[in-house]
Amino acid sequence: MKNDIRSHIKPLRLKGVPEELRLRMKEARVRKGWGQRELGGKIGLPQPHVSGIESGGIVPRFDTLLDIVRVLDLDLLLVPRPLVPAVLSLIRSQEEPESGEKPLYAADEEEPAQKKDRDEF
């Protein structure tokens, strides 16, 4: 019995970079105040190529995608699928600090007052 893992993997050819990733890259570029030409200049791509990547018409090579995200101060991260909901929750909590949830390491606002009361006795 030959155990060939490739027979269980269905090859998938992307038709473009996933939309959420494209939007995050574009948002990061705009936050830096860069146009597509400036981003392309930093990684050695012409502006039409950057436009094609952002619009989903061009699928960049993996090394090109890494260059783009790194120059935008982003990074790609491989996460085991069962942990994706937890990671997305952490990301959302950092993006929306007013959500009412406090970070685990944050001190309770009432704690200093209670400590002060105890010290007075």
Greater confidence, 5 or 25?
A: 25
Could you tell me which residue, 75 or 11, shows the higher pLDDT?
A: 75
For the domain made up of 19-97, give the CATH fold: 434 Repressor (Amino-terminal Domain) (1.10.260)
Token duo for residue 52 = 């094609």
pLDDT at 105: 65
**Looking at per-residue confidence, does 121 or 63 come out higher?**
63
Q: Please count the helices (runs of H) and the strands (runs of E) in the chain.
A: 6, 0
Distances (CA, A) of 109 to 52, 96, 100, 115, 118: 49, 19, 13, 11, 16
Which pairs count as long-range contacts for 69-78, CB under 8 Å and 24+ apart, including other chains?
Answer: 69/25, 71/39, 71/42, 71/43, 72/25, 72/28, 72/29, 72/32, 72/39, 73/28, 73/32, 74/24, 74/25, 74/28
The predicted-structure confidence for 35-52, as pLDDT tens digits, reads as follows 999 999 999 999 999 999
pLDDT of amino acid 17: 85
Q: Which helix (H) or strand (E) segment is 27 a member of? A: helix 19-31
What is the distance, to the nearest Å, from the Cα of residue 90 to the centroid of all Cα atoms in its chain? Answer: 12
